[in-house]
Amino acid sequence: MGVKSRRKGANGELEFIKLLSDSFPSYEFQRNYDQAAKSGFDVKGLPKFGIEVKRYKRGRLYQLDWWEQVVEAVKPHRLLPMLAYRFDRTSEVFVFHLGIHPKLDHHTDLYPYHCNHQ
């Protein structure tokens, strides 16, 4: 991964953390600096969730491999997966699993939520 791509990813994570912090001021959100070394998720601090953040120039929908990445990353921690993504000049979209059960790998049970916070 190139420097520009890593910078865009880090900026996307920080942007999302600000959104979460503004929405949930009683929680402390932070980047997961262990993610690169241990294949973890991007943002921690929301109880019961591990969050993966994606930031891309163009697109309309998330890619299934993004979801699979966060599902695999949270399994060792027994957390629920959440995917937050945004394309340039669009609002943030969150994708999370509707059910709370051990079988979290069915993408048919996903719920997208579009955030209008900018």
**How many structural domains compose the chain?**
1
Which residues span the domain enclosing 47? 3-114
User: What element of type H or E holds 72?
Assistant: helix 64-74
Q: Please give the pLDDT value at position 26.
A: 92
More confident residue, 24 or 60: 24
Query: CATH no. for residue 18?
Result: 3.40.1350.10
Q: Given a cut of 70, is residue 57 above it in pLDDT?
A: yes
Q: Please give the pLDDT value at position 27.
A: 92
Residue 3 pLDDT class (50, 70, 90 cuts): confident
Q: Given a cut of 80, is residue 10 above it in pLDDT?
A: yes
Q: What count of residues does the chain have?
A: 118
Residues 65-113 have pLDDT tens digits of 888 888 889 888 888 888 888 888 777 666 666 554 444 444 444 444 4
Cα–Cα dist 103/85, whole Å: 23
Are 12 and 53 contacting, i.e. CB atoms less than 8 angstroms apart? yes
How far, in Å, are 24, 27, 76, 102 from residue 69 at the CA level? 25, 25, 13, 17
